[in-house]
Structure 1
Amino acid sequence: MSAAILLLIGLVMMSLGYLIYSRFIAQRIYRLDPDFRTPAHEFEDGIDFVPTNRFVLWGHHFTSVAGAAPIVGPAIAVIWGWLPAFLWVVMGTIFFAGVHDMGAIWASVRNKAKSVGSLTGDVVGKRARSIFMIVIFLVLLMVNAVFAVVIAKLMMNFPTAVLPVWGAIVVALIVGQLIYRRIVSLPVVSVIGVVALYALIWAGPSVPIQMPAEVAGMSGNAVWILLLFLYAGIASVLPVWMLLQPRDYINGLQLFVGLLILYGAIALLNPVLVAPMINNDVPAGTPSLLPLLFVTIACGAISGFHGLVASGTTSKQLNKETDARFVGYFGAIGEGCLSLAAILVACAGFASLADWKAMYSAFGQGGVTAFVEGGAYVIHNGLGLPQVTAATLLTVMAALFAGTTMDTGLRLQRYIFQEWGEIYNQPWMKKPLPATLLAIGTCLLLAFGAGGADGSGGMIIWPLFGTTNQLLAGLTLLVITVMLVHMRRPMWYTLLPLCFLLLMTVLALVLQLKTFYAQENYFLLGLDIVVLVAAILVALECAAALKRHRALAAAEQPDAD
């Protein structure tokens, strides 16, 4: 199968999804109102609530939700063959992720920018909110702890990427001032930022920065993790316009430049997908495609973490309600395009099927390594770019997205602690600094408490990320569905995706119970049971709320906005 043809099919389908399906959902289901006063204007404070240009906000939202997951998940899932991964990414982006992301922004904006966890208390009930907040906290804990490990390993393995990864922070600070102070126009700022970022990427191979194997008794990997959390903690309390928005915006632009490079290389080289369409010769121990495909590929098809970003930071910066379509749905399209690229290079970036099988010798193999090596192979042979430069480009792309996700993830975790301070009447916890220290402390406790001196403790609970994350996406769709029922609007466009997602997630949790029991991994077994029970309890609460709101809606006038 030609990679270029598959690329064309995927891009055309996702483009039609945005042009046609997203317009229908925005106008007929969510009924986005350009005159609705958004929380960014109602509560404007210059720190968290900041009315933002939709292109800049798209950059923030997209790069915050992207992270490394839309690369890692698809590049692992191709072990079952390229066709299942391709279909789930494309169809999931169009009918699941876009509807979910736009809906989460809309639901939060219509409720004073409350997070999806807090919103559950209003829409469903206090018991559901308490359970939901625990699930949200677990997802954020996993994301922050694991992405710190991912970035640290990338910088240890690819020292040529260190300069552009950290230099991008300086570029973002300058860009933030240029945009906020209105010193130059947005197009000019965009060009300046992208050129500066790619200059750093080009210089990276000439100035490799290698962390020593041991520093003050700690491994180099652990030192990078501590530095990353120090940076993320500072970034999480700075005003969003100063670092978070410009960093995400520039990263969003560089992703599209990177994707154009990848897509151009694929079009010119037109490599063959050496991986099988359906792989019937999977390595021993590989779990079944159903239901694991739908939790292995989360970001890039649908992801609960998107709902946290949409209702946690994005909704506080939305200038007009109608911008939710561009920011939310098109943000999902951007992530789908990244996942599509990951699938193509992970299946066509090898000289032969034997080389591909050597990479995918066991389930969980591939991931970022397959993306970087396969992508560098395609770019080098398609465009003639030196392979080390191509590898640096793709490594920086993965590291920057993981970093922007950490920035937002830690800010969201701080919001969770502040919301708990509101719920349980703890004034000290409502303040940004104590809440941020609690967020960092829990992440470090997991990283070093469970992982030892290496700081890789987040990887211990990572096997549950896919199921917990998809459970969160299903529950977010439940909240949106309940709101639609209350407003007497069509609910099937969110109800059908959530039913499918909850079914796959619960099946995956049950399957993992057997796996953890067989491995005698009683810690993950217990955590799996907690997540499974939480899923059932929240689903029952939401079902009761759905029934209650249908009865109330029948007695009210339609369109009770």
Structure 2
Amino acid sequence: MQSIAIVIMGIIGMLFGWFVYSRFIASKIFRLDENFTTPAHEFTDGVDYVPTNKVVLWGHHFTSVAGAAPIVGPAIAVYWGWVPAVLWVVFGTIFFAGVHDMGALWASNRYKGKSMGALSEDVIGSRTRSLFMIVIFLVLLMVNAVFGVVIAKSFVSQPNAVFPAWTAIVVALIIGQLLRRNFSLVPLCIVGIIVLYASVYAGSYLPISLPDSLFGLTANANWIVILFVYAAIASLLPVWMLLQPRDFINGMQLLVGLFLLYGAVFLSMPDITAPAFNTQQALDTPSIIPLLFVTIACGAVSGFHGIVASGTSSKQLNKETDARFVGYLGAVGEGSLALITIVAVSGVALAATPEEWHEVYSHLGDGSVAAFITGGAKLIENGWGLSVDFSSTILAVMVVLFAGTTMDSGVRLQRYIIQEWGDIYNLSALKNGTLATFIAVGCCLLLAFGAGGSSGSGGMIIWPLFGSTNQILASLTLLVISVMLIKMHRPAIYTLIPMSFVLVMAFFAGIIKLKEYFLAENYLLVFLDAIVLIVSVLVMLEAWSVIAKFKQQALPKQDD
């Protein structure tokens, strides 16, 4: 019964966020204007700048930002107890993530669809742009490397998910072509979902596995290479051809998955066996503060969302007022996924007794995606009567497709960053899309294997560093939005408070991880962590200097 209380309170909170708080922020703070000419109309090119129906764009944005992170983070963080995880997800979604995502869309829209890194030059200064883009590139590098590892591990452990995962790409390509020929969206969506779930059913009988060793690499390592080859090709295709239809189909698939999971909670009313606050932690467990706030990033607030919002979504915004629907509602959707993940890994579906739960979660980092799939599948079986095997395949495919769409967008965004560097520093070679993509993918592969070894199996060691870096980026994005608001003489408290909280937590988490990586002699991650911490301090100092100068100029002159 506790699970129903968690779900109901979470839903009520997020409904308040959507119907009340987001409307206030959109109309009174950002003052979204439906008559403002968006970059999608001003620079329409049929490749990146494409005016898009807000529902389709929501599907792209939602699935691009969701990835596997709102599953991985909460499924790990529940180790500290389900109460702090639920509180951070719900309040983070309402007051942090929604404002951050909508604000990033609005800011980019007002600066001709520029990425947060590029527009920070106009808002703060040229030095800030260079520093900001370093952090953005590193976040993209880490998220792509992490999700490549997540998908590869899922393919190895869940071979039933391989066939439907690749079938979804073929379906998306076909739908993209049909939409381009003005076929109706609704029937295409229905047919696409039917085909997708038919492939899930077929996948249960068609497991696909790679050999344990091929070309001197493990199956996990080969999947990582294959996935990045695919991501490189996908990132060069026009957004209407694959990115938009795939993300929209995945968005609809997520809604089905959420319906199954939330419906199962109400139908089976499972008890919670995880502790509200875990008092049986392993001796080496780090403090919940600040680590909770970087372990759960996506699902509460995430800097990666700002990259997607300003990198691809803002270039497809049909009306500025659509930023509320796409940005804030996208954050609510992700928060809903994080919330149901906590329920799935905290209840009897995963562990029948508190003792069994502690066996699954003996250390921080245990559980994760495997716990979500196991607990979620059993939850669906108890609620809907679907077999555990079929339910496991559904959830495994959901995780894989989310992580895959994030990789699609992430590699594309890395290409944008590299090409922007080509423009900034007048390096014509970097402006070439193919070369920029090759560099982006090469860096991701180096990190995935460099941090995890030749098998790539240990690549998840990047996750804590990704969490702190990601949250630092979120605070920097909120900082840029705050400076814009201050310059426009609008209240900035609604962005400054989230910015300050997230920055403090993420910065101290980064320092903690810096010490851990140094003691473990993982000097690659020491180097990356140190760069992020130094750059974030420099960006904050630059921003404070700009705010101080602006306020000084705004003061009325005193008579002599």
Instruction: Report if aligned partners of 2:291, 2:509 keep a CA contact under 8 Å in 1.
Output: yes
What TM-score does the superposition give when structure 2 sets the normalisation length? 0.97
Q: Quote the offset at 1:452 in angstroms.
A: 4.0
Distance 1:499 1:374 in 2: 36
Corresponding residue number in structure 2 for 1:527:
528
Instruction: Report if aligned partners of 2:109, 2:320 keep a CA contact under 8 Å in 1.
Output: yes
Deviations 1:131-188 (Å, cap 9, x if unpaired)?
11111111111111111111011011111111110000011111112222112x2211
Amino acid at match of 1:64: S
1:101/1:42 CA distance change after superposition, 3 Å: same
Amino acid at match of 1:310: A
1:365/1:457 CA distance change after superposition, 3 Å: closer
Instruction: Report if aligned partners of 1:36, 1:321 keep a CA contact under 8 Å in 2.
Output: yes
Q: Using the TM superposition, name which of 261-270 and 530-539 deviates more.
A: 530-539
Corresponding residue number in structure 2 for 1:248:
247
Q: Quote the offset at 1:8 in angstroms.
A: 1.1
Corresponding residue number in structure 1 for 2:169:
169
* Runs of 5+ consecutive residues of structure 1 not aligned to the other structure: 557-561
Deviations 1:116-141 (Å, cap 9, x if unpaired)?
01111111112222111111111111
Q: Does the residue aligned with 2:204 lie in a helix, a strand or coil?
A: helix
Q: Using the TM superposition, name which of 505-514 and 218-227 deviates more.
A: 505-514
Aligned residue pair count: 555
1:271/1:327 CA distance change after superposition, 3 Å: same
Amino acid at match of 2:482: T
Q: Quote the offset at 1:439 in angstroms.
A: 0.9
Deviations 1:339-371 (Å, cap 9, x if unpaired)?
001000010122111221111111111110110
**Counterpart mapping for 1:310-389 below 5 A:** 310-348=309-347, 349=349, 350-389=351-390
Q: Quote the offset at 1:514 in angstroms.
A: 3.4
**Residue 19 (structure 1) aligned with residue 19 (structure 2):** yes
Amino acid at match of 2:3: A
Amino acid at match of 2:532: V
Q: Quote the offset at 1:545 in angstroms.
A: 1.6
Q: Does the residue aligned with 1:454 lie in a helix, a strand or coil?
A: coil
Corresponding residue number in structure 1 for 2:141:
141
Q: Using the TM superposition, name which of 309-318 and 195-204 deviates more.
A: 195-204
Corresponding residue number in structure 2 for 1:475:
476
Corresponding residue number in structure 1 for 2:276:
277
Q: Quote the offset at 1:5 in angstroms.
A: 1.8
Distance 2:444 2:429 in 1: 20
Distance 2:259 2:246 in 1: 20
Distance 1:450 1:274 in 2: 35
Distance 1:527 1:453 in 2: 20
1:457/1:343 CA distance change after superposition, 3 Å: closer
1:276/1:410 CA distance change after superposition, 3 Å: same
Corresponding residue number in structure 1 for 2:287:
288
Corresponding residue number in structure 2 for 1:559:
none
1:416/1:269 CA distance change after superposition, 3 Å: same
Q: Quote the offset at 1:196 in angstroms.
A: 1.1
Q: Using the TM superposition, name which of 513-522 and 128-137 deviates more.
A: 513-522
1:372/1:553 CA distance change after superposition, 3 Å: farther
Q: Quote the offset at 1:517 in angstroms.
A: 3.9
Q: Quote the offset at 1:429 in angstroms.
A: 1.1
Distance 2:306 2:555 in 1: 29
Q: Quote the offset at 1:456 in angstroms.
A: 4.7
Instruction: Report if aligned partners of 2:67, 2:399 keep a CA contact under 8 Å in 1.
Output: yes
Q: Does the residue aligned with 2:60 lie in a helix, a strand or coil?
A: helix
1:550/1:116 CA distance change after superposition, 3 Å: same
Distance 1:205 1:421 in 2: 47
Instruction: Report if aligned partners of 2:62, 2:331 keep a CA contact under 8 Å in 1.
Output: yes
**Counterpart mapping for 1:469-508 below 5 A:** 469-508=470-509
Q: Using the TM superposition, name which of 525-534 and 280-289 deviates more.
A: 525-534
Amino acid at match of 2:237: L
Distance 1:70 1:450 in 2: 22
Corresponding residue number in structure 2 for 1:221:
220
Distance 1:554 1:31 in 2: 25
Q: Does the residue aligned with 1:372 lie in a helix, a strand or coil?
A: helix
Instruction: Report if aligned partners of 2:146, 2:462 keep a CA contact under 8 Å in 1.
Output: no
Amino acid at match of 1:166: W
Instruction: Report if aligned partners of 2:451, 2:462 keep a CA contact under 8 Å in 1.
Output: no
Q: Quote the offset at 1:537 in angstroms.
A: 1.2
Amino acid at match of 2:287: S
Q: Does the residue aligned with 1:453 lie in a helix, a strand or coil?
A: coil
1:86/1:193 CA distance change after superposition, 3 Å: same
Distance 2:40 2:396 in 1: 35
Amino acid at match of 2:22: S
**Residue 90 (structure 1) aligned with residue 94 (structure 2):** no
Corresponding residue number in structure 2 for 1:411:
412
Q: Quote the offset at 1:554 in angstroms.
A: 5.6
Q: Quote the offset at 1:469 in angstroms.
A: 0.3
Distance 2:75 2:552 in 1: 46
Corresponding residue number in structure 2 for 1:238:
237
Amino acid at match of 1:260: F
Instruction: Report if aligned partners of 1:346, 1:375 keep a CA contact under 8 Å in 2.
Output: yes
Instruction: Report if aligned partners of 1:486, 1:552 keep a CA contact under 8 Å in 2.
Output: no
What TM-score does the superposition give when structure 1 sets the normalisation length? 0.96
Amino acid at match of 1:524: L
Amino acid at match of 1:192: V
Distance 1:219 1:488 in 2: 57
Corresponding residue number in structure 2 for 1:204:
203
* Runs of 5+ consecutive residues of structure 2 not aligned to the other structure: none
Amino acid at match of 1:97: A
Q: Percent identity?
A: 60
Q: Using the TM superposition, name which of 216-225 and 272-281 deviates more.
A: 216-225
Q: Using the TM superposition, name which of 58-67 and 186-195 deviates more.
A: 186-195
Instruction: Report if aligned partners of 1:142, 1:458 keep a CA contact under 8 Å in 2.
Output: no
Instruction: Report if aligned partners of 1:60, 1:244 keep a CA contact under 8 Å in 2.
Output: yes
Distance 2:556 2:398 in 1: 53
1:207/1:363 CA distance change after superposition, 3 Å: same
Corresponding residue number in structure 2 for 1:180:
180
Amino acid at match of 2:533: L
